[in-house]
Amino acid sequence: MNSSNISAKTALYGVVGDPVSHSLSPLIHNLWIQEAQVDARYLAFHLKSDSVVEDLRSLGRAGVSGLNITLPHKAAAFAAASNISDVGRALGVANTLILDDNGAWRADNTDVAGFRVALSRLSQGRATSSGESGLTDKFQRAVLIGAGGAGRAAAYALGFDDSLQLTIVNRTPERAVELVDSLQIEADIVEFRALEAAIKSADLVVNATSAGHSDGTALQWPEARPGQCAFDLSYGAAADDALRAARVAGWITEDGLAMLVGQAAESFTQWFGVEPDLDQALAACRSAVGGGA
């Protein structure tokens, strides 16, 4: 589709943030919109405001059909909605808004779905690479590094997996306790000084902090056992730096691009009732940011 196809019936969607120029969401969604031949456009809205909640509601009243929300407006999106999904309510923030028949926003948090997409990719890689050892694609022991906002969706997804033992490592154990209590999940909590031992015993390590990045504490990756996986929630150069040592040590790695595309796919399906091509969008994003995990 090109601009000449835009009409009064063209539905408008977008991503809202401050800043937002770096967002890959327009690339992802406009690719899927074109493939699905949907009469819609997806834009980036740079919203710098002291009244974000009301501004988001105004966008809905103005006819915007759906929004993705990025930092720092996820809490405002939660507050702007008239109806909130169970996952969104559990996490306390929203990254997706869907306009209902009454012109009000329904809020969801699709980061959990996105995390599960990335986890599925890692699971498949684990089963493939370690087939000779007889390992399955199921993780038994997971370590989540960080108890802040970035790791809440990961903690939710991992904490409700009954077949998996979750350990959360955080510099401030009290924050990890608050996370576990707020999500009502089961997890062991250890201090950062026990990180190396936790990593050695894990099937899956999820990094939701700056640790291992150029501005963070270096992560020590032991020589991998068959099927050990490392997942960094960031993407691009930052994640590539963080995961390079893990790859050298033989770990199966994944960066946050798969999670980004997975959460976008969940939003797209809710808006249009169409399941998009994840591999196509992931390849486009990988090309846009460079690097690879």
Would you please indicate which residues are annotated as catalytic (active-site) residues?
Answer: 74
227 C-beta neighbours (distance < 10 Å), count: 24
Best CA proximity match to 105, nearest among 116, 97, 113, 117: 97
CB 28 within 8 A of CB 60: no
Residue 89 CB burial class (10 angstroms; 0-12, 13-18, ≥19): middle
Strand 165-170, strand 40-46: pairing: unpaired
Categorise residue 72: left if φ over 0, alpha if ψ from -120 to 50, beta otherwise.
Answer: alpha
**SS3 assignment, position 267:** helix
Q: Find the DSSP H helices in the chain.
A: 25-36, 52-61, 74-80, 86-91, 111-129, 152-159, 173-183, 195-201, 237-248, 257-272, 278-289
